[in-house]
Structure 1
Amino acid sequence: MLVQRLGAPSDFDPLLERVRDARVVMIGEATHGSYDYYRIREQLTRRLIAECGFNFVGVEGDWPDCDRVHRSVTGAPGGAAEPQAALERFERWPTWMWANAEVARFCRWLRAWNLERAEPARVGFHGLDVYSLWESMQAIFDYLGEEDPASLEAAQEAYRCFEPYGKRIEEYGTAARFVSARCEQEVVRLLTRTREQAAVDGPGAFSAWQNAEVVAGAERYYRAMVSGGPASWNVRDTHMADTLDRLLDRYGPDARGVVWAHNTHVGDARATDMATGGMLNIGQLARERHGADDVVLIGFGSWRGTVIAAPRWGAPAEAMLAPPARAGSVEQRLHELMPDRAVLVFGGPDQPGWVTDTLDHRAIGVVYDPSFESWGNYVPTRLGQRYDAFIWCDETTALHPLPALPAAGEMETYPAGV
């Protein structure tokens, strides 16, 4: 195992050596609301793009919202000249996950980088998540109305099937358990037509296809959600892994992608108690599909600090104190052993017990109650198997949300808000 104090940009060099030949690099976060994680992830991603030739960033966000950012950072027709304007239009709670000053700074850099290059060489920004059923449906209408009116009927049939449930789409999942309310056939027709149209190349066709995949994934997700257990979580992470694979195919045979998501999605679920609960995640799926040598998983952690989160689902965000990590946790051990900032690259025969043993590892979601630290907010983890590398920040500070549209949010699955 290699430990490098983190202070200057060059301190990432040992980590870049580890990821230089990887096809996929996933960079996590222990919270959705810490400035330090977002800032360090931004700095590392800039180097992956500039020095290693990565082609796109895929984030734990909705496809339609992120597509507006993509059009801005790539200078596409109709894209905002200022990426922050696109980020401020994020609609689904919790908007601060991506509508924050730290992501805006990265996107401004990415736009400047891209505009110095020919269009085929520009680096994309895409959403991997499954929640945006209505927004994706509207995007399909907009595209088909202009490009493929013959397929519009399939989209309208799918819309009519979901329409009785309005914005409370989780009610569709409940109804599907007891009555013949399933929209599978209509969604399959829609997906088939848009997939055929996407074969005609072009970014508009690909985006419409992905929006149809979101609609299909959302239909499966809401049906699974009402049954409880790991099924809806697995639908969501499988959808994100499938979206990642479509992007790799879209960008070409030598394409390379960076993923930004919570540690709970990035770190291999097989090295945690998630596996015993029947859960998988995108980090595990990427390793299985592409091979461990072509996938590098990077986690984050801290001992204490402040974080942006909400006390309950849908509530306004606020800065909260994250107290010192509990005794016996990964974070407590690293607080005792590491400098304030460090990069750890796992591997080799001489790894200490806290890397190979199962220890509690903190995970803070968008809904957070610091009083739960005594029994919740931790995932039992074998750190060196869950991640290939780990970035340690002994103390963190809250990130800086942007003004955003009034937001509504769907119910999420355990682990809540990640």
Structure 2
Amino acid sequence: MIRYGDEVASIARPLRDPGDLEILLDRAAQARVVMIGEATHGTHEFYHWRAELTKRLIAERGFAFVAVEGDWPDCRRVDAAVRGAVADPREALIRYDRWPTWMWANEETVDFTRWLRALNETRPPDDRVGFHGLDVYSLWESMREILTWLREHDPEMVPAALDAYKCFEPFNEDPNAYGWATQFVRASCEDKVVRMLAAVRDTDFGVWQNAEVVAGAEGYYRSMVRGGPDAWNVRDRHMDQTLDRLLTRYGPSSRAVVWAHNTHVGDSRFTDQRLHGEVTIGELARERFGEDRVVLVGFGTFRGTVVAGAGWGEPMEAMGVPEARPGSLEEILHHNAPEQALFVFPTSDPRPDLLTEALPHRAIGVVYRPERERWGNYVPTILGDRYDAFLWIDETRALRPLHTLRVDAHEPETYPSGV
């Protein structure tokens, strides 16, 4: 740990206010995509600094939209709010009712989306910045949105969508029941979903995207019950493809900011995810757009508090995050970096050992058991290759959820740990 001291000092920059992000904005000058992570789904500082960086990318570097690890229909309501089509974004965010609600239904996201709405009010409609969801969990909600749109705008296509909807109907919106049924009987709805997707591909973009969500979700839930990396990869490939569709829709010069957990944003080839056969949207973006057109930003903390649940669907609570384990990246930075710091990694050799050696790096999902911290929650990471930059906050605190009540949890636990 001591031997990393000079290395950390040579590349760490104090992080005091948004003006200190200038060097990272310079790094992103040619990027088509900037992906900004988080080491948990429930930490105030991660959401705050991610928002501050995003504000500058939008206002000063012309980024066209934000795409998040959230569901397409939920984020569509937020998109309408930030564009000024409907009421205050807070009303759209508080409607997130699927566990874990706090991921997006929180005051930190309210603050950012209100800023985005105010910015959009100064712009013509065609130049307004969007807010979109990349994830696959909204199978039934997406099906209903497809049917609603088709009945009003294209009734001739309703039968194909209704056929797919009726296939899922016996499972009572329980993805576990659907996943297990496909393993033991010929219950798969895959063929009907493929026919529906083909039918609506040339209709409204939102309808097409909802159909892609249904297709992604169907494959995700079918893969989930088998175990292994398939479900993870279905999900990250869906998010990658959705991002590409959005960039195409916004135009050839458009640029995107992505918000997701470190385990999705970071390049899996430089973690033990590679050994498990997992891919990530960060890796896929580098392959799709080129490494010089993508900037991946990670986050980390040494100790604090976080919002999470003790089990899938359990009530949210503010939990203590214990001090990071000995020998971890977090312990090294705790002893050697400023309390808040920004690292923008050099692109050429020689690079310090801190960036080239595999170190344990903490990852906390929506399911968290602090008492298991010593043998779980760490991803072996080659820091300088997994990310292009890193934001460090030594001590963090829980974010501020909009909801306080327990909600129903229909979704199966995200493979492997709620991230």
- Residue 141 of structure 1, CA deviation: 1.1
Structure 2, gaps ≥5 residues long: 1-9
Q: Whole-Å Cα distance in 2 between the matches of residues 295 and 415 of structure 1?
A: 26
1: CA distance between counterparts of 2:105 and 2:404? 7
Q: 2:320 — aligned with what?
A: 321
Shift of 1:11: 0.5
Aligned residues: 408
| Aligned partners of 2:216 and 2:234 also within 8 Å | yes
CA distance in 2 between partners of 1:404 and 1:231 (Å): 34
Match of 2:125 among 98, 119, 124: 119
SS in 2 for 1:26: strand
Q: Partner of 2:45 in structure 1? A: 36
Partner of 2:267: 268
For structure 1, the 5+ residue unaligned runs are 198-204
1:409 CA displacement: 3.9
Show the 5 A alignment for 1:193-342. Answer: 193-197=199-203, 205-342=204-341
Partner of 1:84: 90
Change over 3 Å in CA distance of 1:404–1:308 after alignment to 2: closer
> Do residues 144 (structure 1) and 150 (structure 2) align?
yes
Aligned partner of 1:68 among 36, 61, 77: 77
Which of 93, 100, 107 pairs up with 2:99?
Answer: 93
Partner Cα separation in structure 2 for residue 163 and residue 129 of structure 1: 21
Normalising by structure 2, report the TM-score: 0.96
Q: Distance in 1 between matches of 2:206 and 2:13?
A: 41
The alpha-carbon deviation at position 256 of structure 1 amounts to: 0.3
Distance 1:134 1:56 in 2: 26
Question: In structure 1, the residue corresponding to 2:326 is in which secondary structure?
Answer: coil
Report the equivalent of 2:349: 349
Q: Answer yes or no: is 1:9 the counterpart of 2:21.
A: no
State TM-score, norm by structure 1: 0.96
Question: Contact 1:131 / 1:218 at 8 angstroms: preserved in 2?
Answer: yes
CA contact (8 A) 1:65 1:91 kept: no
Q: Is it true that 1:417 corresponds to 2:418 in the alignment?
A: yes
**2:178 equivalent to 1:172:** yes
* Aligned-partner Cα distance in 1 for 2:113–2:262: 22
**One-letter code aligned to 2:18:** P
User: Cα deviation per residue 1:236-266 (whole Å; 9 max; x = unaligned)?
Assistant: 0000000000000010010100000000000
- 1:240-298: CA deviations, max 9, x gaps? 00000000001001010000000000000000000001111110100011110000000
Which moves more between the two structures, 169-178 or 186-195? 169-178
Counterpart-to-counterpart distance in 1, 2:300 and 2:403? 27
For 2:417, give the aligned amino acid.
A
Equivalent-residue separation in structure 2 for 1:368 and 1:333 (angstroms): 23
Identical counterparts, % of pairs:
60
Query: 1:174-204, CA deviations, whole angstroms, 9 ceiling, x for partnerless residues?
Result: 111221111112101111111122xxxxxxx
Q: Deviations over 1:148-179 (max 9, x none)?
A: 11111111000111111112122212111221
2: CA distance, partners of 1:276 / 1:324:
27
Cα distance in 2 for residues equivalent to 1:239 and 1:393: 31
Distance in 2 (alpha carbons) for counterparts of 1:189 and 1:235: 19
Q: Matches of 2:79 and 2:96 in 1, distance apart?
A: 13
Give, in angstroms, the shift of residue 404 of structure 1.
7.2
Q: Higher mean Cα deviation, 407-416 or 167-176?
A: 407-416
Aligned residue type for 2:58:
I
CA distance in 1, matches of 2:63, 2:118: 16
Residues in 1 aligned to 2:180 and 2:415: alpha-carbon distance in whole angstroms: 18
After TM superposition, give the deviation of residue 84 of structure 1 in Å: 0.2
Aligned partner of 1:201 in structure 2 is: none
Q: Distance in 2 between matches of 1:372 and 1:74?
A: 43
State the Cα distance separating 1:400 from its structure 2 match. 0.1
Structure 1 Cα separation of the partners of residues 124 and 310 of structure 2: 46
**Secondary structure in structure 2 of the residue aligned to 1:385:** helix
Secondary structure at 1:106 match in 2? helix
Instruction: Give the Cα–Cα distance (whole angstroms) in 2 for the partners of residues 403 and 321 of structure 1.
Output: 20
2:385 paired residue number: 385
RMSD of Structure 2 on Structure 1 (CA): 1.1
Offset from partner CA, 1:298-345 (integer Å, 9 cap, x none) = 000010001011111101110010000000100001111100001001
